[in-house]
Structure 1
Amino acid sequence: MQELEEVGIWWIPSDPDFQVSGLLKFSSSTGIRLELIGSFQEYRKVDCPIILGVTQGKLVTLCGNKPIHSRSSSPGFESEKYSVKTAFIGAHFSNLDEMKFHRIAVEYSYLADWANLPLIRRQEELEEDNYNIRGFDFSYTRPEPIRGNTSQGVLSLVYTWHNSGLPFQINFSQSATFEIKSQEHLSFEEWMSKLIFTLQNFITLATDRPNSVTRVLGFSPYGDRAIEETPHFTKQDVSIEIIYRSVYTETRQKDRLLRDDLLFELKDIQETFGDTMAQWLTIAAELDSVCNLFFSTRYSQRMYQENHFLNIVQAVESYHRRRRSNRILPKQEHEKRINRIVNNASEGDKEWLKQKLAFSNEPSLKERLVYLVKETREIIAPLVNDEEPFIKQVRDTRNYLTHYDKSLQKKAVKGGALYWLTYTLEILLQTCFLKELGFSSEQCVALFDKNERYQFAIRETKGTNN
């Protein structure tokens, strides 16, 4: 999200006549701050869950305000600073119940690269000698939106463009936006948990790199607007920019991603866009713990390698637990075995023994890995020369880092070997996600074959083993 610094007049909804000047500031590092030249607390000892304001013709609602600093001096003036959770720019909401949106538009840092933005055509007009350029003709055709129905509403990929409008220069840019229209009016927190963060994870998976939210617009029939309604322009059509401090922010490393940077692109799912996106929302809901563990490592770039490894191993284990059989024996057969063992124990040991055997019918980590490696062998095989030692390394390293058993210290991998062990497990999970989305084994192979990061890992693996 872009940095913001706006001077305005501010007040609380219960007393609009008492107004205070102040500066509204936002940056990804510090979040939202309101610095008042004056104080609300001087006259009323109450919280300020909502603060309203006007900055250069824009209506602003600040929500979740906490005082973090106040000062008074004589001679001098009162001053006060607030930490703000969310800023809604474009409307005034007098209470929390009004902050409901039926449609959200959100942009991510690499969404445009994934969405196959069209080329801007440039035709040169040459002089008669064919050496000097006399002029240029520019041509651009905006692609049609792509839509699909999901359990959360209609999801669209919309292409937009921007032009400075200056008569003596061309300043043209294009972007791609996810728009979600719901049948319900949801709070911004509900939009965040149900869709905004879920779609962020999707585009992070697809582009094979962490994405941040770069812009959010909300559409709501509630609140007061600066523009009056007309027969062709209603309050529901007016966009409200929503600013907040994201958990993860990123500066783009490239002007545009190439095809071999991505895991898959829009063209790979264009014919099944609606079904694929609907399936991802289902996956995110059913595999919430797996997604949280996997994607947290993508957004936490400063995580220790050991923590990174443990998160991924836990995600793999959780995935198998959710999606595959979590029993070694049929339930009734296992219960008979438990009863047979417990009945032969002394009375004082029976309760302790029951607790120890409570999860004894679940597959071990090794058994889970054997199953998933077999399912993803076509992708994992180029990274793993021998499956059995690979699985043993994962198990021993996990057990050492979890229990710190000194007998496993020499068996646990470290340094660069731990990095590649973790990366291979990530590839395993990515393959599982792709198959969950409907990609066949053959399609998965084709996608990884063109992925430069995966191909680099294969070259490194072969070089290490040679």
Structure 2
Amino acid sequence: MGTEARLDLAHEWAGHWWLPEEPDRTLEGTLRYDPDDGLRLSLTGGFDDRVRVPLGNGWVGVMNESKSWPAVLGLAEGTAITLLDCHATNTEWRGIGFGEPHEQTIRSPAAFVGVHLHDDGQEVFTESLVSVEHLALWADASARPDDEPSVVVDGTSVTLSRDHPDAVAVRFRPGGPFPLGTALEHAKAVQDLVSLATHRACALLSVRLRTTPEQPEAAAYFQRTVRGGAGAADLRSALFTCRDIPFEEIVVKWWQVRQRFTAAANMVLGLRYAPAHYVETRLLTAVGAAEVMHRALDLDEKHMPKHEFNELRDMLLEHAPQEHRAWLKEKIRNDVTLQERLLALADLPDAAAIQRLVPDAELWARTTTRARNDLTHTGQTPQQSLDELIAVVSVTSAVVVLNLLQQLGVPGERQRKLVEDHPEFQRTAGEAKAHLT
């Protein structure tokens, strides 16, 4: 199943289907998975999804709503299949009143092929195997095929599994049984790491699981946010690979960085996973990523020591008219400004890399702050041209990425080389020089 259980390929299973609480009542039907459309089960007949309410005196009312089912089970050519969190999108009835369904279409966000579950919270899996687009490139697949580096993170064994150079996956083995949610979280962590490292949106290709080492693999199917397939990647487009930072080191660091900087990483990667069509939306996302990155760094976020600020505030309040004191107390803040946050972020990565990326950091921070404030307060950015806004988004995103690389331990020499040689960083530096100096 390993090479066939691909999330980027369409699949179809014809078989029999039933509800876990009604195992003796089976229906014929076909399950189809499409990478763009997700999972759709077409049944001959159907399950009663009407919600009935007793009205008294033997009368029963039918509510204007539908049931959903935690799971629908199936058997196709001897293979167990589970559909989770199911609901009917179309039901055709044989007659009126309380007749039986004639045909039914059921939608599900996730399916398992190879195992039966009753809900997505069952802790029945012992191992998951995740494959991501361009994983082999990042893993430096030129290494020996029998080289499978491994490390333990938070009690989970994480291994780079090499069946052969073209089939590289990351295997997770926690200390005990785990549910679907854990497997999907592990998959997302690998996807984010490879997307950050290769500097492109990388799609999940497969998520395979085992309940026991002796059992065959079960494959998870779900509609992906990232489609991938945007062309071949090469080492020149990667920010770093396992050749720069060994697998055992980068996995540990990524788990730490991702836990601490989840919001910033999600936002800056979101610009690649689901790029917005409007520069204003991209601006708010990039600046938001910078703000939450700065907050997560736990830097000094106060203009002055707390006791000095309290003394100053009390003095101002004492001399303010009584009717304005509540307003004044609300307005006086000791937090740093967005401009100060941006400048602080520019001070953390390699200095030479930042200087080349954004020669005039003061102007970048000032322009970014003005654009963000105008946009959030008025919905417009009249003081900046479109080229300036594009440069602000590119530079701000690049500064957040460099800070993530800094936290991951990417050396300053590598940061400088990226800014000098990487096509996208070169383009960003050119935009900054043209519009932000």
Q: TM-score range by the shorter chain?
A: 0.7 to 0.9
**Which digits, 9 at most, give the CA deviation of each residue in 1:215-274, with x for residues without a partner?**
0011224xxxxxxxxxxx623xx311011122x2223122x421111111121112xx32
Q: Distance in 1 between matches of 2:354 and 2:429?
A: 10
**Aligned partner of 1:12: which letter?**
L
Deviation at 1:32, TM superposition (A): 0.8
The alignment partner of 2:281 has SS state of helix
Q: Distance in 2 between matches of 1:73 and 1:322?
A: 59
The aligned counterpart of 1:216 is 207
Q: Distance in 1 between matches of 2:171 and 2:81?
A: 23
Deviation at 1:80, TM superposition (A): 0.5
Q: Distance in 1 between matches of 2:25 and 2:183?
A: 33
The aligned counterpart of 1:170 is none
**Which digits, 9 at most, give the CA deviation of each residue in 1:401-431, with x for residues without a partner?**
111288xx542x2323322221111111111
Query: Is 16-25 or 95-104 further displaced after alignment?
Result: 95-104
Describe the shift of the 1:3–1:249 C-alpha distance in structure 2 as closer, same or farther (beyond 3 A): farther
The aligned counterpart of 1:92 is 116
Q: Distance in 2 between matches of 1:458 and 1:268?
A: 24
**Residue correspondence of structure 1 range 7-18 to structure 2 within 5 A:** 7-18=14-25
The aligned counterpart of 2:263 is 289
Q: Distance in 2 between matches of 1:263 and 1:337?
A: 47
**Aligned partner of 1:253: which letter?**
A
**Aligned partner of 2:317: which letter?**
V
**Which digits, 9 at most, give the CA deviation of each residue in 1:161-200, with x for residues without a partner?**
4xxxxxxxxxxx822111111113222123334x222222
State which of 223, 230, 243 in structure 2 corresponds to 1:253. 230
Deviation at 1:347, TM superposition (A): 3.0
Q: Distance in 2 between matches of 1:100 and 1:416?
A: 53
Deviation at 1:84, TM superposition (A): 0.7
**Which digits, 9 at most, give the CA deviation of each residue in 1:317-374, with x for residues without a partner?**
22112212111211222122222222222333222222222xx211111112222223
**What count of residue pairs does the alignment treat as equivalent?**
411
The aligned counterpart of 1:350 is 325
Query: Is the CA contact 1:146–1:156 (under 8 Å) kept in the aligned structure 2?
Result: yes
The aligned counterpart of 1:79 is 103
Describe the shift of the 1:265–1:87 C-alpha distance in structure 2 as closer, same or farther (beyond 3 A): same
Describe the shift of the 1:94–1:401 C-alpha distance in structure 2 as closer, same or farther (beyond 3 A): closer
The aligned counterpart of 1:20 is 27
Deviation at 1:85, TM superposition (A): 1.9
Q: Distance in 1 between matches of 2:270 and 2:229?
A: 19
The aligned counterpart of 2:77 is 56
Q: Distance in 1 between matches of 2:106 and 2:404?
A: 42
State which of 384, 388, 403 in structure 2 corresponds to 1:417. 388
Deviation at 1:461, TM superposition (A): 5.5
The aligned counterpart of 2:373 is 399
State which of 303, 316, 330 in structure 2 corresponds to 1:328. 303
**Aligned partner of 1:300: which letter?**
A
**Which digits, 9 at most, give the CA deviation of each residue in 1:109-168, with x for residues without a partner?**
12122122239xxxxxxxxxxxxxxxxxxxxx624211112125111111124xxxxxxx
TM-score with structure 1 setting the length: 0.81
Q: Distance in 1 between matches of 2:94 and 2:255?
A: 55
**Which digits, 9 at most, give the CA deviation of each residue in 1:411-466, with x for residues without a partner?**
2x232332222111111111101110112322321344342222344456667799
Matched, 1:363 2:340: no
Query: Is the CA contact 1:399–1:405 (under 8 Å) kept in the aligned structure 2?
Result: no
Query: Is the CA contact 1:297–1:303 (under 8 Å) kept in the aligned structure 2?
Result: no
The aligned counterpart of 2:63 is none
The aligned counterpart of 1:241 is 219
Q: Distance in 2 between matches of 1:450 and 1:388?
A: 24
Report the identity percentage.
21
Give runs of ≥4 in structure 1 deviating > 3 Å.
42-47, 94-100, 447-450, 456-466
Query: Is the CA contact 2:82–2:115 (under 8 Å) kept in the aligned structure 1?
Result: yes
Query: Is the CA contact 1:328–1:363 (under 8 Å) kept in the aligned structure 2?
Result: yes
The alignment partner of 2:347 has SS state of helix
Describe the shift of the 1:72–1:269 C-alpha distance in structure 2 as closer, same or farther (beyond 3 A): same
The aligned counterpart of 1:165 is none
TM-score with structure 2 setting the length: 0.86
Query: Is 381-390 or 415-424 further displaced after alignment?
Result: 381-390
Residue segments in structure 2 that go unaligned for 5+ positions in a row = 1-6, 53-66
Q: Distance in 2 between matches of 1:340 and 1:382?
A: 45
The aligned counterpart of 2:153 is 150
Query: Is the CA contact 1:104–1:217 (under 8 Å) kept in the aligned structure 2?
Result: yes
Residue segments in structure 1 that go unaligned for 5+ positions in a row = 120-140, 162-172, 222-232
Q: Distance in 2 between matches of 1:368 and 1:462?
A: 21
Q: Distance in 1 between matches of 2:49 and 2:386?
A: 57
The aligned counterpart of 2:181 is 189
**Residue correspondence of structure 1 range 437-448 to structure 2 within 5 A:** 437-448=408-419
Q: Distance in 2 between matches of 1:340 and 1:185?
A: 60
Q: Distance in 1 between matches of 2:229 and 2:116?
A: 33
* RMSD of Structure 2 on Structure 1 (CA): 2.7
Query: Is 42-51 or 90-99 further displaced after alignment?
Result: 42-51
Q: Distance in 2 between matches of 1:448 and 1:149?
A: 33
**Aligned partner of 1:57: which letter?**
G
Deviation at 1:81, TM superposition (A): 0.8
Deviation at 1:93, TM superposition (A): 2.1
Query: Is the CA contact 2:395–2:429 (under 8 Å) kept in the aligned structure 1?
Result: no
Deviation at 1:44, TM superposition (A): 9.8
Query: Is the CA contact 1:117–1:175 (under 8 Å) kept in the aligned structure 2?
Result: no
Q: Distance in 2 between matches of 1:152 and 1:43?
A: 45
Describe the shift of the 1:428–1:234 C-alpha distance in structure 2 as closer, same or farther (beyond 3 A): same
Q: Distance in 1 between matches of 2:331 and 2:273?
A: 37
Query: Is the CA contact 1:264–1:447 (under 8 Å) kept in the aligned structure 2?
Result: no
